[in-house]
Amino acid sequence: MIIILKKDAPQEKVQELIRQFERQNIKIHESRGVQEYLIGLIGDTSHIDPEDIKSIDIVAQVKRIQEPYKKANRKFHPEDTVVDICGRKIGGGHFQVIAGPCSVESREQMISVAQAVQKSGAGLMRGGAFKPRTSPYAFQGLREEGLELLVEAKKATGMPIVTEIMDASHLPLFEQVDVIQVGARNMQNFELLKALGKVDKPILLKRGLSSTIDEWIMSAEYIMAGGNPNVILCERGIRTFETATRNTLDLSAIPILKQKTHLPVIVDPSHAAGIRSLIEPLSMAAIAVGADGLIIEVHNDPEKALCDGAQSLTPEAFDSTMEKIKKTVAFFGKGMD
Amino acid sequence: MIIILKKDAPQEKVQELIRQFERQNIKIHESRGVQEYLIGLIGDTSHIDPEDIKSIDIVAQVKRIQEPYKKANRKFHPEDTVVDICGRKIGGGHFQVIAGPCSVESREQMISVAQAVQKSGAGLMRGGAFKPRTSPYAFQGLREEGLELLVEAKKATGMPIVTEIMDASHLPLFEQVDVIQVGARNMQNFELLKALGKVDKPILLKRGLSSTIDEWIMSAEYIMAGGNPNVILCERGIRTFETATRNTLDLSAIPILKQKTHLPVIVDPSHAAGIRSLIEPLSMAAIAVGADGLIIEVHNDPEKALCDGAQSLTPEAFDSTMEKIKKTVAFFGKGMD
Amino acid sequence: MIIILKKDAPQEKVQELIRQFERQNIKIHESRGVQEYLIGLIGDTSHIDPEDIKSIDIVAQVKRIQEPYKKANRKFHPEDTVVDICGRKIGGGHFQVIAGPCSVESREQMISVAQAVQKSGAGLMRGGAFKPRTSPYAFQGLREEGLELLVEAKKATGMPIVTEIMDASHLPLFEQVDVIQVGARNMQNFELLKALGKVDKPILLKRGLSSTIDEWIMSAEYIMAGGNPNVILCERGIRTFETATRNTLDLSAIPILKQKTHLPVIVDPSHAAGIRSLIEPLSMAAIAVGADGLIIEVHNDPEKALCDGAQSLTPEAFDSTMEKIKKTVAFFGKGMD
Amino acid sequence: MIIILKKDAPQEKVQELIRQFERQNIKIHESRGVQEYLIGLIGDTSHIDPEDIKSIDIVAQVKRIQEPYKKANRKFHPEDTVVDICGRKIGGGHFQVIAGPCSVESREQMISVAQAVQKSGAGLMRGGAFKPRTSPYAFQGLREEGLELLVEAKKATGMPIVTEIMDASHLPLFEQVDVIQVGARNMQNFELLKALGKVDKPILLKRGLSSTIDEWIMSAEYIMAGGNPNVILCERGIRTFETATRNTLDLSAIPILKQKTHLPVIVDPSHAAGIRSLIEPLSMAAIAVGADGLIIEVHNDPEKALCDGAQSLTPEAFDSTMEKIKKTVAFFGKGMD
């Protein structure tokens, strides 16, 4: 971290600040030019918030040199993390498609969709039991019952299941869940992240609606710092001024994340656009830009879906899109084993 | 709700859709023009998500006529809600200033700041015990111990306390807290909102970084639908492209909220700008635009603050700002009793 | 256009409004339900701004049914527009790469870069002679002299040239230019758009930094309404809160544009990200999502480039990227003839 | 400017870079710590774009220490600029209200509105003759004829006139105009800004929809660098994700601008919100936060306004708002002479 001091900073204040850092075992390199006066902090500064330093009267600007994340940082872990979910691998050249309905609605629905997406080539099954809804009057998901139906579909097909958690206190209900999803609205629910750091299951961490890439990595770092190294990042669109799509899918984030972190990154084209006809082209783009997987909504009867029907594919449409996904993944040199 | 159908929608599909609504006790008014074909839904449609309807093949567009919120809606509750906190009133012409440090750090700090802000005219005291921090390595607050120090400061001064909750499971610790704050990052932590709906304390609901005004009111509705009518809204800046300020304070939201809802609305100029010198002018603007209160960070030694020092006033600076606040509140016709 | 009236709108005011529309040759369909009262406007309403109608006291809401653009609208022109530039085709299955330096700097530079990109397979050459710069003290381009150097490079290689115009009064200087580019900052410089509507050359219209897709199409409509049908749209990133990339490339815009309009759409990965290492992955994504071309910055010595070096490829790096572009374009079924 | 080099930057490349700067008469201060290696640039760096330096291979980060603007910079011009328009002063404690219709429509309208707003206390009159419209099919203003009607209203009332220019080639028509307005969409029409730098009239420079405060000041610098010191800045809302208001009025920009620049700053509450009922509260907030003036739309018959009626006040409503404006301006210690 480099701290640019005000040119007229009184020496006694500068020395007091330096002593404060030294007490935290940080070494200081002082440098005074004609135009600038700065001190460099040498050592572990990950616990220091640059915003705090900025508040000090004699400080003009603060510039972080080292990223504030360690466990998620590719610098300290150059090889790709490969997350293994009951034998299905994501990351490091392994590509997976996660498919299923937005909401779990009934046993028949779950089993029929699970069988269909499995046949088309999906590796994991998704389905929402706990549903975050903007309105308290909207359908909130089947909750415990939904989790049971997911487990039944897993038994019927052998596919691992991915489903969203909304509160740390629900964790005991998630024992048979294979991948626990953290939704966009909970990306900075730090108490939940801490609880998931102690869990022995992969976490699918969606990007918050208005979270920067760095904030997102820091949320992964919360989970990893707690002891859970298996984090899968999921880009699902950010909130911008554009209203033609529900959110703006930030595909540039994929190569940026690949440089900054070793974690696998997947893309959710269904929620990003909120438009059925965009799922296929955005899936192609996600593969081309370097994503390690896709999570796609598939519903046996999208027009009667209790939520988010507009962004669900029918099993037939999914099957046709999967044909293209398989060829494109192969073209770009990844495997879907 | 008005549903604009596609002009070539087949009659049997339209009739099926109409029957679906009728089963939910919604009456239908059908209207077919040359250019447009639409059906109006008559009855309570608050549980229907327009996004779901949009997914139906024969539907071109959906337009909500009635707001999806009821309890928070000024239409059904024309008079201003006045929230009473141990005799301090907010809303309906009553203006309150909440002041105190970002983080509770020590007994001496809390008591000295509390006494100072009380003397300057603040009605309530704030202080963070549980701190949401972007980094897992940053100071996370004194937690339980911080709550105890807040309670001590309350005993010493008689001022009611406002502090943030981060997880529903912490609620038992908040028994002596007078106003429970929900932070921006938890504005759509729906499980937490539901839990707070069952609490018998006023809730200070901060606006999410990228939440629309309507989403924010819906989060208040979650709390109110659970049975707790005492919600205070707090505008604290939204995330935009501008980087000169930490967030962009959306003061237009105040008069908009005053039209849509009967709840009191306060403004947080400290977090919005993240710049000490902007607290006073933004406070003046907040009063002028119609806010019912302010929440201002005051720290006895901002340069040594463990978090957010850049946006804290010293007690002396706060005292000087309070002089102007009192005169301006009076000028705009509100009382600070 | 559907106008939703306030339920208590007095009949005489409604009739006055209806007469106003009828005087503009618009037919009216009135419909009054229990919940809603609305009038549908039948006829050409493209000159009516819904914002104007909203201001009328008795109006609750206005909803456009028909898009306000005609010439750019795919509904009235279902087949793809193919723009032909001296035999190079863009659109309708034809893919082109436009390459060259951000700024024209010297004869040697332009000719050497032009020859290099031509050899690698670029179809058109770009280079900025008039440069829009945030600062009045920054290099503003070689202007007239830059245009001359572009023309020389064209003579040396036979490649058509694409370059930016900043003011309608410069048009006489652009006689030998093959494609006139409108920069993001001028996307709503309506006087310039009108002037370009009278020009007999293809126009490359970049998206404004904070322009919606609909506003962008309306700017194309300005040019087309003036009589010039040859507009190529260019997505180059929008301004969002994310700072890891210079702008956020909105690749969802490509399939949306393909539905709304028949015009060719290309992508500028260099300006979008502002990061050299992102050019290749974003180019792959652009092809995969359905773009009709790419515009890529190539500089013979990016480290000494007078502007935007960080986003330029060397001719060697461009050559390697072009290899992948060619294979990927073929994989996705387009031709680069 | 401080350039943070990569730690492993080869000495010969560093020395080459240093020589490059020295050739531009920039002195260098080199500093090498354990963690960081940096060079400080001493001298005038306003022509250097940090983005260009970032592209150099050996450079890790670039940090500007000095603002890139000089003439607009308060550091070099500490006292407030007071712009004098035929005796009406703006800035340095002088507050002005500019009022009038969005579009000039007829002689009767202009004269009647001008007389009305003058009587209510407005100091200057506005009216659009050249109108930037999103659609080529919408009313584009009366243009030359509109300018003539403005001049007639000026003769009838003696009020100076403010009106928008859309292209530098129209300048000869603006001879009798007292203040030339640059609209939000043209804030970075650099050729227009250069032309206005040579004009001997005050320029009202509106903020671009997605322009940062620094970009906005740089656009003022374009005008001032050309020789015209009389620039008035006008905040009119920025584009964000919020749709409850047309734009998000950024009132924090006012105190920020007051620190960075000596130019007067006014606020446009009509365009910012696009809602009539918000004009008064936002005007109060603008005065309270430190603005030097307001520009308000007033129309004798807003419901029949050819554009932007929803955001216009009637002369009666304006008169009532002016009463409050006058009292509030006095309360906050400014004069309206």
Give per-residue pLDDT as tens, C116-146. 999 999 999 999 999 999 999 988 999 999 9
Sign of CA dihedral B221, B226, B232, B235: negative
Which percentage of chain C shows pLDDT scores above 70? 97
Which comes out higher in pLDDT, residue A53 or D122?
A: D122
**What sign does the dihedral C251-C252-C255-C261 (CA atoms) show?**
negative
With a CB cutoff of 8 Å and minimum separation 6, the contacts of C226 are: C193, C194, C196, C197, C198, D136
Distances (CA, A) of B319 to B99, B109, B291: 11, 17, 20
What pairs with residue B313 in β-bridges?
B298
Whether D49 sits inside 8 A of C303 (CB atoms) is no
Top mean-pLDDT range of A196-210, A299-313, B35-49: A196-210
Probe site for chain C from B241, B242, B245, B248 (most C CB atoms < 10 A): B241
- Neighbouring chains of C at 3+ CB pairs within 8 Å? A, B, D
Which of D168, D188, D310 lies closest to C167 in CB terms?
D168
Separation between Cα atoms, residue D331 and residue D284, nearest integer Å: 11
- Chain D residue with Cα closest to C306: D52
φ/ψ bin of B290: left (φ > 0), alpha (ψ from -120 to 50), beta (otherwise): left
Predicted structure pTM score: 0.94
Cα–Cα dist B263/B286, whole Å = 16
Residues D70, D73, D75, D76: what is their CA dihedral angle, to the nearest 10 degrees? 50
The CATH fold assigned to A2-63 is Alpha-Beta Plaits (3.30.70)
Q: How far is CA A333 from the centre of its chain?
A: 23
In this prediction, residue D305 carries a pLDDT of: 64
> Residue A131 in contact with residue A307, Cβ under 8 Å?
yes
What is the least distance, in Å, from the CA of B214 to any CA of chain A? 9
Radius of gyration from C-alpha coordinates of chain B:
23
**What are the tens digits of pLDDT across the range D230-245?**
999 999 999 999 999 9
Residues of A in contact with C210 (CB under 8 A): 241
**Of C229-243, D13-27, D130-144, where does mean pLDDT reach its minimum?**
D13-27
**pLDDT of A308:** 63
| Sign (positive or negative) of CA dihedral A307, A309, A313, A314 | positive
A74-331 belongs to which homologous superfamily? Answer: Aldolase class I (3.20.20.70)
| Minimum distance, in Å, between the CA of residue D112 and any CA atom of chain A | 39
Distance from CA of B250 to the nearest CA of D (A): 6
Residue B308 has pLDDT above 80, yes or no: no
Does the beta carbon of A332 lie under 8 angstroms from any beta carbon of chain C?
yes
DSSP H/E element including B210: none
Q: Which residues in chain C have Cβ-Cβ distances shorter than 8 Å to A331?
A: 328, 331
Q: Where are the alpha helices (DSSP H) in D190-335?
A: 190-196, 213-225, 253-260, 269-273, 279-289, 315-331
More confident: D135 or C1: D135
Q: Is the pLDDT of residue D306 over 80?
A: no
Task: Please give the interface size between A and D, counted as residue pairs whose CB atoms are below 8 Å apart.
Answer: 62
| Cβ pair A277:C255 closer than 8 A | yes
Per-residue confidence (pLDDT) for residue A237, from 0 to 100: 97
pLDDT mean across residues, chain A: 93
Q: Which residues of D touch C210 (CB under 8 A)?
A: 209-210, 239
Chain B environment of A137 (Cβ under 8 Å): 46-47, 68, 225
Tell me the average pLDDT across C84-112. Answer: 96
Place of tokens 């050309």: D226
Chains that touch D (3 or more CB pairs under 8 A): A, B, C
What is the pLDDT at residue D23? 84
Under an 8 A CB cutoff, do D281 and B289 touch? Answer: yes
Q: Could you say which residues from 254 to 273 on chain B have a Cβ atom under 8 Å away from some Cβ of chain A?
A: none
B52 vs A168 pLDDT, higher one: A168
Q: Where are the alpha helices (DSSP H) in D97-171?
A: 107-120, 144-157
Write down the pLDDT at residue B174: 98
Beta strands A83-85 and A88-90: pairing type? antiparallel
CA-nearest residue to A241 within chain B is B240
If you write DSSP's letter for every residue of D157-208 in order, what string do you get?
H---EEEEE--GGGGGGGTT-SEEEE-GGGTT-HHHHHHHTT-SS-EEEEPP
pLDDT tens digit string along C6-46?
878 888 888 888 888 888 888 888 877 666 688 888 888 88
Mutate to test the interface with D, among A8, A48, A65 (most CBs of D within 10 A): A65
Q: Where are the domains of chain C?
A: 2-63, 74-331
| pLDDT for position B307 | 62
Contact predicate B53/B62, CB 8 Å: yes
Looking at residues A257-264, what average pLDDT do you find?
A: 98
Percent of chain C with pLDDT over 90: 74
Q: Give residue A164's pLDDT band: very low, low, confident or very high (50, 70, 90).
A: very high
Residue A245 has a pLDDT of: 93
Whether the CB of B26 is below 8 Å from some CB of chain C: the reply is no
Contact A136 B49 (CB under 8 A): no
Closest CA in chain B for residue A70: B137
Residues of C in contact with A235 (CB under 8 A): none
Predicted interface score ipTM higher than 0.90: yes
CA–CA distance, B153 with B122 (Å, rounded to integer):
14
Cα–Cα nearest to D148, from D176, D122, D169: D176
> For C244-255, what is the mean pLDDT?
96
Nearest to D179 by CA among D199, D165, D161: D161
**Non-local CB neighbours of B108 within 8 Å, separated by 6+ positions:** none
The pLDDT of residue A229: 98
Is the pLDDT assigned to residue D183 strictly greater than 70? Answer: yes
User: What's the pLDDT score for residue D34?
Assistant: 65
Running DSSP on this structure, what letter comes out for residue A191?
H
Residues of chain A with Cβ-Cβ distance to B215 below 8 Å are 134
Specify the pLDDT at position B34: 65
Q: Minimal Cα–Cα distance from A85 to chain D, Å? A: 37
- Please tell me the predicted confidence (pLDDT) of residue B306: 60
